[in-house]
Amino acid sequence: MGSGEIENPGKGSAGADASLRGDESRSGSEAGLEHLAVPAGSQHRSYLVSQNPEFRRASDGQPRPAVFLDRDGVINPTVLNPATGRMESPLSTADFSFFDGVLESLSILRDEGFPLILVSNQPNYALGKATLNGLSAIHQKFVYELVRSGIAFARFCYCLHHPRGVTPGYSGLCVCRKPSPWFLLRARDDFGYSLRDSWMIGDRPTDTQCGKAAGARTIRIEPEHGASDPVNPARALAARPDHSVRDLAEAVDIILTRRSV
């Protein structure tokens, strides 16, 4: 996918974004949300939230590395859904907690000057298993804890779609769902990042595929329970990460060690 498929990000920025909060009466700016322009022909909305105005293209114009992070299974534990027997995204704020050491690891990346970008698939509204308010409440708890620790992400990117969703406007194919590198390409274009020098950290093969498709370096955090999506051999090859680690602290060690390479 090339950047030529991406429209001018300034387009269509008012109004619709507030729906992540489930509050259609607020404008995007009031809700702290910003709409990412949807490529021509797409029937879907794509979202980033809590754009941080401090993070803009470097004034010297030099491309710089960023760290892209998946959320569930990297920053917070997934939660056992008794109904399915699978480890899934938290559906309530009570189920959202940080892995031990994650805030410290993010602080190190911050102190070392890496912009942080969240790239998360959150299809549970599309699938009819969560409300937008519920997803937003979890996001707000996440951000609250980050702010308390003095950690600012440059951008939070959520794909709310699912190919087999049941919610109109969020179901079917979209451009942004990982393994698509779309959010990484957008960040490159908007902030001037060098994806070749950037990192994608995730716990699933689709995270690694996303990072590789963007030309970034990839680190896989092995799932805590050894549970993983079934992957066919060809796909497993495509999803082989540059590094495998146990947690974000180990991932940060690799990033700092490799920075000068």
Closest residue by Cα to residue 52 from 143, 152, 141, 148: 152
The nearest distance, CB 220 to Mg ion, in angstroms, is 10
Among 18, 34, 69, 72, binds Mg ion (CB under 5 A): 72
CA angle 252, 74, 134 (to 5 degrees): 140
Q: Do 183 and 206 meet the contact criterion of CB atoms below 8 Å apart?
A: no
The nearest distance, CB 92 to Mg ion, in angstroms, is 18
**x/- site string to Zn ion, residues 141 to 170, per CB under 5 A?**
------------------x-x---------
Report if residue 200 touches Mg ion, rule: CB under 5 A: no
The sign of the dihedral angle between the CA atoms of 92, 94, 99, 105 is: positive
The nearest distance, CB 159 to Zn ion, in angstroms, is 3
Report if residue 20 touches Zn ion, rule: CB under 5 A: no
Which of Zn ion, Mg ion, none does 151 bind, CB closer than 5 to 8 A by kind? Answer: none
Nearest-angstrom CA–CA distance, 34 and 48: 6
Nearest-angstrom CA–CA distance, 244 and 236: 14
Among 203, 211, 218, 252, binds Mg ion (CB under 5 A): 203
Annotated catalytic, 70?
A: yes
Among 47, 49, 68, 70, binds Mg ion (CB under 5 A): 70
Which of Mg ion, Zn ion, none does 73 bind, CB closer than 5 to 8 A by kind? Answer: Mg ion
Tokens of 9: 């990000």
**Amino acid identity of 28?**
G
Q: Beta strands 46-49 and 33-36: pairing type?
A: antiparallel
- How does DSSP classify residue 261? -
Annotated catalytic, 72?
A: yes
Q: Which stretch binds Mg ion (CB under 5 A): 80-88, 155-163, 197-205, 248-256?
A: 197-205
Nearest-angstrom CA–CA distance, 211 and 215: 6
List residues binding Zn ion (CB under 5 A).
159, 161, 174, 176-177
Residues assigned a catalytic role: 70, 72
